[in-house]
Amino acid sequence: MKFWRSTLWTRAEELTELARSAEELGFYGMATSDHMVFFERPLVSRYPYSADGKTWWQPSTHWPDTWVSITAMAAVTSRLRFTNAVYILPMRNVFTAAKAIGTAAVISNNRVTLGVGIGWQREEFDLVGEEFHKRGRRCEEMIEVLRLLWTGGSVEYHGKFYDFGPLVMSPAPTQSVPIYISGYSEPALRRAARIGDGWILAPLAPDAPYSHADLPRLIQRVRDLRRQAGRDHLPFEILEPALVSPDVGHYKRLEDIGVTSASVIFGDPTAPPSLSGQRQLMEDFADAVMSRMS
């Protein structure tokens, strides 16, 4: 199993030092999170991964820009990989996203994977002027456009949401950027199976609508959909973001049902540990779990 170190609840100014530590301790990569702002007014949108529909983080929680963060961490490491759990792609302009992701891939020497979510908070979409209700279908077209733009040659596209004549975007990655897609809904599972290189589960918090007992059924559904799409022969990652556990058996059970990666979340949104405290938590986890999974 591959272990990613989640940056959730991490202060922006600590990211580069934590990336160095993660590389030294043998983590496979760093997984960033994504929100634009924190709304102080009550939200109409319900958070889909808690029983009461409310978020658990604080107004002071850091949500640093994911591609600025990844590029900074890549600059101080040589092996560590980077992904998002997740990046709200349809909340962005497709060309701006393609440029940022492609540049990060070039600077990191192809150590970047795009983790895509379609988002749940309509208020953020309204804030940046992007349409919310068709975001799933628009996201699929965005992924087609991204892959086209990253080829580095002259390309054009004529779709339902995006339509443009011949153009070139440089720099372009020298390798394909893998794309993992998140979500538990049937459309999300189909999207991951049809066009994704991997599937990202949502955090399974204690009061989330899904539990670990649901994972075998969901994983089997994705496998069935990949087979129906004729893509079951291709490499495919399944990544689970989860609160850190010292129980090596927990990760072995996940591995047995088909989970290939775990993005472990350290700390507490109400009282994030110090930088030295996070380093100690990472060392303890590497000793208790990672050393025994290899």
Tens of pLDDT, residue by residue over 99-151, are 999 999 999 999 999 999 999 999 999 999 999 999 999 999 999 999 999 99
Helix (H, G, I), strand (E, B) or coil at 199: strand
Domain ranges (residues) in the chain: 2-293
Determine whether domain 2-293 maps to CATH 3.40.50.620: no
Decide if 87 contacts 116 (C-beta within 8 A).
yes
Q: What is the pLDDT of residues 216-260, one digit of tens each?
A: 999 999 999 999 999 999 999 999 988 888 899 999 999 999 999
Share of the chain above pLDDT 70, in %: 97
pLDDT at 291 over 70: yes
Decide if 113 contacts 81 (C-beta within 8 A).
yes
Q: Average pLDDT for residues 163-175, to the nearest whole number?
A: 98
pTM of the model: 0.95
Continuous segment of H or E residues that includes residue 82: strand 81-84
pLDDT at 207 over 70: no
The predicted structure's pLDDT at residue 208: 62
How many whole angstroms separate alpha carbon 156 and alpha carbon 169?
A: 11
How many whole angstroms separate alpha carbon 171 and alpha carbon 131?
A: 29
Q: What is the pLDDT of residues 12-30, one digit of tens each?
A: 999 999 999 999 999 999 9
Token duo for residue 212 = 């670990």
Of 96, 73, 99, 75, nearest to 84 by C-alpha is 73
- β-partners of residue 4 are 29, 263
pLDDT at 58 over 90: no
The predicted structure's pLDDT at residue 209: 63
CA torsion angle 191 194 199 205 (round to 10): 30
Q: What is the pLDDT of residues 170-192, one digit of tens each?
A: 999 999 999 999 998 899 999 99
Decide if 199 contacts 181 (C-beta within 8 A).
yes
46 or 102, which is more confident: 102
pLDDT at 205 over 60: no
Query: Helices 94-107 & 66-75, crossing angle to 10 degrees?
Result: 10
Helix (H, G, I), strand (E, B) or coil at 251: helix
The predicted structure's pLDDT at residue 124: 97
Helix (H, G, I), strand (E, B) or coil at 159: coil
Which residue intervals of 66-204 are DSSP H helices? 66-75, 94-107, 122-128, 135-149, 186-195
Decide if 252 contacts 293 (C-beta within 8 A).
yes
How confident is the prediction for the chain on average, in pLDDT?
93
Q: Average pLDDT for residues 211-216, to the nearest whole number?
A: 82
How many whole angstroms separate alpha carbon 222 and alpha carbon 238?
A: 10
